[in-house]
Amino acid sequence: AIRERSEGHKEEALRRFSRRCKSMAEAVMIGEVDDDWIAVAGKLREEIEWLLRPKKTVIRNQHIILAAPRTVGRDELVFEVRSHALEKWPEGYDLSKVQEVVILVRLTMDEGHNARVRDCAKRLQQVGKKVSVVPCGYDCVYGDIAKIQEMWSEWKNIGVVLPLKPRGTKMTPLISLAPPEGANRTQLAKFLEMAIGETVLVKKLCESKMGGLQEPGRKPMSELKPEITYAKRGRFESNV
């Protein structure tokens, strides 16, 4: 009689067994029932595993910047990503709405870090994102930048901006024009325009809702409390 049941009946029965009849569920799991029931159990297990999978963070902006912590100020378009966390992009995030990604990189001779940047850019491109790897500073001696540029030149099919490429009216190497740590939005937009041109991301950066990039670790001005000074007779007055 069991074999004559449809797959739908078996699945519904197994659902009920798993809640009310543990002995039957255990029998299915250890293989004491026929193959048809075991197949239904496997299907149900896959469904439960899918429902219990880790939820991905949804990125709602179409144009975003990945940057190491404190490289630039806080902004809705900027995501601070430590070197090892690059391995989670894009698998750990829902990037269905994202079109363009700029990876801001501080130059270093660390082979592990360089490999993570390269692999992250490749994965983002494989899922259809426009990617630009842009140097924004360096943690090595200036003489090593030429070696890093040579290495970047060998990264096939990755949109890299070479750090020593001349920019501006004085044809200055791009890396020498990088904004300071914790750059505000104006500085960042100006630098990115020199690096990748007036892209949609650069325009969006100028139109960002945050009202200005905040320096790392500092509260917005709206959250700062007015300074209080105490006058005679126990009264106090605000300095604002």
* Number of structural domains found in the chain: 2
Whole-model pTM: value is 0.64
Q: Are 65 and 45 members of one domain?
A: no
Do the beta carbons of residue 143 and residue 175 sit within 8 Å? no
**Residue 139: per-residue pLDDT:** 92
Q: Are 164 and 188 members of one domain?
A: yes
pLDDT in tens, the chain (240 residues): 444 455 666 666 666 666 655 665 666 556 565 666 667 767 777 777 667 666 778 888 888 899 888 777 777 888 888 888 888 898 888 888 999 999 999 999 999 999 999 999 999 999 999 999 999 999 999 999 999 999 999 988 889 999 999 988 889 999 999 988 888 888 888 999 999 998 888 888 877 544 444 444 444 433 444 444 444 555 544 454
Q: Is residue 221 included in any domain, yes or no?
A: no
Q: Are 71 and 181 members of one domain?
A: yes
Q: Are 72 and 179 members of one domain?
A: yes
The residue range of the domain holding 146 is 57-206
Q: Are 19 and 126 members of one domain?
A: no
